[in-house]
Amino acid sequence: MEEDGTMNDIAVQEVLNEKDIKRLLTSFHLSVGLVAVFYNADASYSIRPDGYDEICPFCALVQSFPEGKARCMQYMAKAGKQSADFGDSYISRCHGGMVEIFAPIMLRDVYLGFIACGPIAMWEWDEMAMNEITKRFQSLRIVPDALLEVASSIKVYSGKNVQALAEMLFMVANSLASADMLALQQRKELSVQQARIAELIFEKKIAGEATHTLEEKKDSGGYPLNKEKEMLGRVRLGDRTGAKEILNEILGEIFFHTGGDLEIIKARILELVVVLSRAAIEGGASLEKMLGSNLAIISELSGIREFDNLCLCVVRILDTIMDTIYLTSNVRNAKTLGNALSFIRENYYADLSLGTVANHVYINPFYLSHLFRNELGFTFMEYLTRVRMEEAKKLLSQPELTVVEIAGKVGYEDPGYFGKVFKKYHGITPIKYRQS
């Protein structure tokens, strides 16, 4: 991203979906009979509607001269930026005297570019209008007859028509921005998810964990039963972020223990869906609705051929099931337990005890301990340790901090004890983790 709040060409093309842009621009053209074009912030990159790769004859003639093309690009970039500054559609006369309409495309506060529609005219082509056009291009030495011929072919619109076009163009830009924001959020979520899965697999390889089959892990009481239970606890609390973090760990475990076999991974994911669906039904969701959802999920999973897309699909499945649970379940003590978890995440570095947290949420420590075990499937100390260890990993990426300093920052006065807990949790020592 650049300093002025815009994106560079590469970033813009990574965010935008050219197919969606073409579809919207084509629909706009078929609706109003005018061609609208997307430009990035400096007008160096454009996307046009399907079947309209050529620019209008008037603009083509002007831009056949280097000076004329430079004027056009400079004007377009400036007018597009003004539309972003106004936060609305912008009607302007170009350097050739024609009317252009601009609508900005913003993702939050980031200016991606704009859509321009034109040129159009708002006057009849009388002698005075022709003389003005000719004078504007004297420096380019365009043959007057050729200029007047292409200029007179430009459609004439009333002020009311132009205002309606501006409003419609702004709605198209807003629609595009909303679609791009969703795509951007999905790509960001996928990127974070893949990074976490890759990190977990790498940690297991470094730790030299034996590649037991998933069935052996289940029989031994290990993964995935404990992770599934923890994830279900987060789901019941409405902790969407926490549930997705554990889901990523589960996906990493599945990938590691199946050697990346996509069909086996799909089978394991269906097992997760069954577990989540059962929790939704226990929470009050309709059995028929969940069966219908599961059939749709099976159909979607069968058509996926890449692990990345599979992971993103699973996150969407979790969101859907979680929404169902949240809407149909009357979760007992969810607010109290949720407040306790938030307090721990915000104060993990302090000398926390079960009593301290219980006092903060105004309940008995023994009852809070009961909630942890029964609602989440793990103890207060297990959760606190988990939060501290995840934070320790982040701090280890900062070379200016020593292991001793990091131990203190995550709540351990004894660096030796911190090292033992870290190795037990992650499989390697803090120093080896930093080196790897």
Domain 9-184 fold: Beta-Lactamase (3.30.450)
- Strand, helix or coil at 123? coil
Sign of CA dihedral 374, 376, 377, 383: negative
* 405 or 130, higher pLDDT: 405
What share of the chain has pLDDT > 70, as a percent? Answer: 76
What average pLDDT does range 90-102 have in this prediction? 88
Which pLDDT belongs to residue 219? 42
CA distance 346 to 299: 41
pTM exceeding the 0.75 threshold for the entire prediction: no
For residue 188, is pLDDT > 50? yes
* 187 or 59, higher pLDDT: 59
CB-based contacts of 247: which residues, under 8 Å, 6+ apart? Answer: 231, 272, 314, 315, 318
CB-based contacts of 343: which residues, under 8 Å, 6+ apart? Answer: 357, 360, 361
* 371 or 190, higher pLDDT: 371
- For residues 123 and 97, is the Cβ–Cβ distance under 8 A? no
- For residues 32 and 165, is the Cβ–Cβ distance under 8 A? yes
Distances 80 to 103, 104, 154, 173, 280 between C-alpha atoms, Å:
7, 6, 22, 12, 49
Per-domain residue ranges for the chain? 9-184, 210-331, 333-436
Which pLDDT belongs to residue 332? 47
333-436 architecture in CATH?
Answer: Orthogonal Bundle (1.10)
* 276 or 355, higher pLDDT: 355
Which range (109-113, 271-275, 320-324) has the least confidence? 320-324
What average pLDDT does range 387-401 have in this prediction? 86
